[in-house]
Amino acid sequence: MDTRRSLSEIAGRGQFSRRSLLAGAAAAASLAVVRPSAVRGAEANSKVELGVVGCGGRGRWIANLFAQHGGYKVTAVADYSPQAADRAAETLGVDQARRFSGLLGYRRLIESKVDAVALETPPWFFPEHAAAAVGAGCHVYMAKPVACDVPGCLAVAALGKKAGGKKRCFLVDLQTRTEPLFQEAIKRVHEGALGQLGLIVSCYQDDGCPDPPKTMTLESRLHSLIWCNDDDLGGGYIVNCDVHAIDVALWIAGQTPASALGSSRIRRKDPHGDSADVYSVTYEFPGGFLLNHRSEHVNNQAGCITCNAYGQGAFIETNYGGKTWLRGGPMAYKGGEVHNLYTEGAKRNIDTFHKSITQGLFDNPTVQPSVNSTLACILGREASRNNTRMTWDELLKANKRIDLDLTGLVQ
């Protein structure tokens, strides 16, 4: 089971943990299957056949949300662990013949003929899994971050365009960009509500994930969010978690950073993964303004996901859970309280994915912003790891690839 608290609890100090949230997700109802018109020429209101790759706590949770939507039928599941695949399948009513496991289970799932795939594995696997899905003509719904390294990010950007060219949808599930309060407040920023930007400040604080001793193979790191502690498998905490706050910062900025200067440390007890869990990073933007990002992932009950920006006579405050508004100036916005964004944002993305498939909307607008945010997090990770300044261009030119040792894992 996952031990990490839900994003909604981190931001809103709610009473439900991620463990209880996932355990309490309603079981999927059994739904009749009719192929969607955008895939195989059936009626426009038909069910999309979905395969879920990655059946841990969040994978099962998101699969239930798909099933509850009414526009999908989950017909196949895959996970490295056969036990995890079976747990999800039993809840979702998936036939025994369409439960797949091992490293190549995702291939067998795709070969079983699904209309769409939802990717919920450790992010190192995303580019490979997405490439197979797009190559087979499937629509793709992907968790964040899009990858753990620069080559993976660039591959996902190309896959989003390739999917669009093949009239297939590709959606990355970041929740904040679906929130109406965020949308209105940041729209006003882009219309000039803050004047000249001076400073953006983002923060992500949360308890860390379990980090047990490593074993002879990678298998022991593939579950329970243990991989968040590993820069190779999960991207590290700044990439896997802080992307929520840094994505909002880039959304406000309307551009990617020119450089990053940072420091990071490992402060959790008895660490075994190589990811830092405390970060302080300053990003410089071409427009002359700065982004200060800080985060910590040590077990201390602190929790926040925020991003504020300050201009001339006005500022914007955004919270993953809590008040989001714009104060000062003639374009002030009273905003309101953001509630349960972790779940509601995912539901909105699932609904958008369905509408895009059935209505033939293949512009795939979530891909490039999500790639940019992941790259910005990688830039911060590399700059802070080396305690130096690194430019965006240097990061892309280095194009550093992360390889995993998969020796001993079941195929």
Q: Check which CATH number belongs to the domain holding 190 and give it.
A: 3.30.360.10
Say yes or no: 188 and 302 in one domain. yes
Say yes or no: 265 and 305 in one domain. yes
Asked if pLDDT for residue 1 goes beyond 50, the answer is no
Would 198 be classed as within a structural domain?
Answer: yes
CA quadruple 82, 83, 86, 92: dihedral sign: negative
**Structural domain range at position 17:** 7-172
Average pLDDT on 151-162 reads 98
Note the pLDDT tens digit of each residue in 132-149.
999 999 999 999 999 999
Would 394 be classed as within a structural domain?
Answer: yes
pLDDT for the residue 14: 33
pLDDT for the residue 12: 45
Say yes or no: 164 and 182 in one domain. no
Q: What are phi and psi of 137, to 5 degrees?
A: 85, 25
Say yes or no: 199 and 332 in one domain. yes
Average pLDDT on 87-113 reads 97
Say yes or no: 73 and 89 in one domain. yes
Would 345 be classed as within a structural domain?
Answer: no
Would 411 be classed as within a structural domain?
Answer: no
Say yes or no: 159 and 224 in one domain. no
| C-alpha separations of 73 from 36, 47, 64, 114, 362 in Å | 11, 6, 10, 10, 21
Provide the token pair at 99.
């439960």
- pLDDT bin (cut points 50, 70, 90) of residue 305 is very high
Asked if pLDDT for residue 316 goes beyond 70, the answer is yes
C-alpha dihedral (153, 19, 78, 49), degrees to nearest 10 = -90
| C-alpha separations of 138 from 60, 74, 147, 149 in Å | 20, 14, 19, 24
Say yes or no: 158 and 117 in one domain. yes
Say yes or no: 183 and 168 in one domain. no
> What is the DSSP annotation of 122-169?
-GGGHHHHHHHHHHTT-EEEEPSPS-SSHHHHHHHHHHHHHHHHTT--
What residues have CB less than 8 Å from 202, skipping those under 6 apart? 242, 245, 246, 248, 249, 291, 292, 293, 294, 306, 307, 308
At how many degrees (to 10) do helices 367-385 and 150-165 cross? 180
Average pLDDT on 378-399 reads 97
Would 43 be classed as within a structural domain?
Answer: yes
Query: pTM for this structure?
Result: 0.90
pLDDT for the residue 46: 80
Say yes or no: 233 and 294 in one domain. yes
Answer left, alpha or beta for residue 280, where phi above 0 means left and psi between -120 and 50 means alpha.
beta
Say yes or no: 121 and 181 in one domain. no
pLDDT for the residue 167: 98
Asked if pLDDT for residue 39 goes beyond 60, the answer is no
pLDDT for the residue 27: 29
Residue that has been written with the tokens 């071409």 in this structure = 286
pLDDT > 90 in the chain, percent: 88
Q: Of 156, 172, 188, which marks where a domain is finished?
A: 172
